[in-house]
Amino acid sequence: MSRALLELKGVTRRFVAGEKDFIALNDINLTINAGDLIAITGASGSGKSTLMNVLGCLDHANSGSYKVDGRETGTLTDDELAELRRDHFGFIFQRYHLLPHLAAIQNVEMPAIYAGTGKSMRVERAQKLLERLGLSGHLEHRPSQLSGGQQQRVSIARALMNGGEIILADEPTGALDSVSGKEVMNILLELNSAGHTVILVTHDEKVAAHAERIIEMRDGEIIADRVNTDRPIINEKATERMPSKPRQGNRLMANIGLFQEAFVMAWVALISHRMRTLLTMLGIIIGITSVVSIVAIGEGAKRYVLKDIEAIGSNTIEVFPGSDFGDTKSMDIQTLALSDVAALSSQYYIDSATPNIGRNMLLRYRNIDVSATVSGVSPSYFQVRGTKMGSGVGFNKDDARRQAQVVVIDYNTRIRLFGPKVDPLGQVILVGNLPCTVIGVTENKKNIFDTSKNLNIWMPYETASGRLLGQSYLDSITVRVKDGQPSKVVEDNVNKLMQKRHGTKDFFTYNLDSVMQTVQKTSQSLALLLSLIAVISLAVGGIGVMNIMLVSVTERTREIGIRMAVGARQSDIRQQFLVEAVMVCLIGGVIGIGLSFVIGYVFSLLVKEWQMVFSVGSIVTAFICSTLIGIVFGFVPARNAAQLDPIEALARD
């Protein structure tokens, strides 16, 4: 005796219509044994479709008991019902319900994907099923390229993919011509002969006549349940075994496979709607491009400014007489001396030190007169300042000892006195009334702190003090901090040493490192401000993704219903739409980063002084932002998709 496969006891299903209850099923008692071939008939509104939905675990009863192979369904969660559908049921619909963007073999594979079957195994089984059903030449054809009969055979193959122990066929021949309808019925009869339980839901008496048992419904109740004694004899020779049910992997491997397939299915869905996908990711592209480009511009600008600060001696500390800049008494303070320079130079934290005295004086070469800043410095001045020679050399200790009448001029002075073609080296110029020989020209190094009209020349301090200015005290002292020493600590030590030497605080210090820190903080604040603006554009792009994904869920409601019918759990649906949202944002992020590099290249052609600087950190952050936007703004559409009722979803056009 066959075992009871499906058991319904006192099953009632009611729907709320306004303020009234509509009873679709009323106290249904029914037992279906394994291997039965049953037809459920009745007029429209009789409850036969509702009964089929309850039998297939697409719907649930309000009261009563329904068991599938001895397992009570009333206490099962939505995901457990999905697993029950996946493992026991195969659905054949009147309207086929194939996904239009998938090929025939991909439609057939779908139930096995949610069962966690390996790719090679499910492809092999899908191919064999389609070949068995006469579709060997249509494996890669999409539904629109198939006839109605061929589409229904694809639907049958899909129903058999996970074994199809119970076949639920809703008007399987309703949309077919007589020839195709007869072919489909023959296949269903063969499946029953092979051991499948087949339940036909139909109002067509010719279809019902093939069943061993006919159940007639009216007004939600079973009014007749009879054995069909007039059933036509089936030719057993036509019966042929279908490929065996695929072996399922363990749950962990199944989940990994589902996650991989979610990316594949998401990609297929995205390329099937290219324009919508492009419009969806447009906001993300703009946002990511803005973030990466702004960070690159900010970093480039910061490096440009800091480089110029370094060019004028970033690691230096200046010592001036007086209490601060603008101190009117500083002109009367003449305590800075060469002995202070020597004392500072001997400290372990000082790399080098140079005295400074200077005046604006008249320079003359032949009949050309210009005004320039004349500075008396030590030979180490150029090392302290990090100044390089464009041509010639700087003066040395011997020049200083001899009070040699030699000078180093800057590039601007060279142009004003000699022009671009005359070599100034070895030429004699008058500095005030002192003739001096030009021995070096500094590099033409432009920075944001220079003005192109400044003229500067340098001579040994001893020469300036003894031969030109007659000044024994210093205007200032410049010290270069030794590498690795904290600039602030060195500044404090310089203050302590100088105060100890002078016995009073008649000087002040100016640390260029503080300028660098200020520039860095300012650039960071500016970059943060601009990044926040870019983040707002990212958020707007994320909202756009959410809106489009919500529209996508609405448009693909029937697809969601089909996936649920073949065994997709809520978590599977949620995962798929979440992966789609993340994929859209990631692709948008990649395009945005690529566009940023294009902008950087164009920028380098237009702006020669400095370049955009792209960092790995900003690119990684952009990827992380893209992913998070996909997750955050894709969650609501994914949740909505997962919470759809499979019956309502299947009924949606």
Q: Which residue type does 170 have?
A: D
Dihedral class, residue 503 (left if φ above 0, else alpha if ψ from -120 to 50, else beta): left
* pLDDT band (50, 70, 90) for residue 237: very low
* 480-528 confidence digits (pLDDT tens): 888 888 888 898 999 999 999 998 888 898 887 776 777 777 777 877 7
Residues paired with residue 477 on neighbouring β-strands, in sequence order: 319, 355
Domain boundaries of the chain, sorted by first residue: 4-249, 267-306+518-651, 334-505
* 416-438 confidence digits (pLDDT tens): 999 888 999 999 999 999 999 99
pLDDT at 213 over 60: yes
* pLDDT band (50, 70, 90) for residue 251: low
Half-sphere exposure of 633 (CA within 13 A, CB side): 27
Question: For residue 595, what pLDDT is reported?
Answer: 92
Task: Mention every residue, 6+ apart, whose C-beta is less than 8 A from residue 602.
Answer: none
Rounded CA-CA distance 213/226 in Å is: 6
pLDDT at 35 over 70: yes
pLDDT greater at residue 18 or residue 228: 228
Question: For residue 449, what pLDDT is reported?
Answer: 52
Cβ proximity of 210 and 39 under 8 Å? yes
The token pair at 477 is 């002292």
* pLDDT band (50, 70, 90) for residue 310: low
Residue percentage of the chain with pLDDT more than 70? 93
* 548-604 confidence digits (pLDDT tens): 888 888 888 888 899 998 888 888 888 888 888 888 888 888 898 899 999 988 988
* 436-472 confidence digits (pLDDT tens): 999 999 988 765 555 557 899 999 999 999 888 888 8
Cβ proximity of 198 and 205 under 8 Å? no
* Cβ count within 10 A of residue 586: 17
pLDDT greater at residue 302 or residue 213: 213
For Cα atoms 188, 190, 193, give the angle at the middle one, nearest 5 degrees: 115
Q: Closest by alpha carbon to 341, among 294, 400, 389, 285?
A: 400
The token pair at 350 is 């000082």
Range with the poorest average pLDDT among 146-155, 292-301, 442-451 = 442-451
pLDDT greater at residue 529 or residue 208: 208
Distance linking the first and last C-alpha atoms of the chain: 43
Question: For residue 653, what pLDDT is reported?
Answer: 62
Cβ proximity of 249 and 114 under 8 Å? no
pLDDT at 38 over 80: yes
Q: Which residue type does 564 have?
A: M
pLDDT greater at residue 538 or residue 144: 144
4-249 CATH choice from 3.40.50.300, 3.40.640.10, 3.40.50.2020, 3.40.50.1370: 3.40.50.300
pLDDT greater at residue 519 or residue 123: 123
* pLDDT band (50, 70, 90) for residue 236: very low
Residue with tokens 């130079």: 345
Task: Mention every residue, 6+ apart, whose C-beta is less than 8 A from residue 465.
Answer: 357, 376, 471, 472
Question: For residue 480, what pLDDT is reported?
Answer: 87
Question: For residue 493, what pLDDT is reported?
Answer: 92
pLDDT at 289 over 90: no
Rounded CA-CA distance 161/109 in Å is: 7
Residues paired with residue 71 on neighbouring β-strands, in sequence order: 68
* pLDDT band (50, 70, 90) for residue 239: very low
pLDDT at 305 over 90: no
Dihedral class, residue 510 (left if φ above 0, else alpha if ψ from -120 to 50, else beta): beta
Residue percentage of the chain with pLDDT more than 90? 29
The average pLDDT across 388-396 equals 91
* 71-89 confidence digits (pLDDT tens): 999 888 888 999 899 889 9
3-state helix, strand, coil in the chain (%, to 5): 50, 20, 30
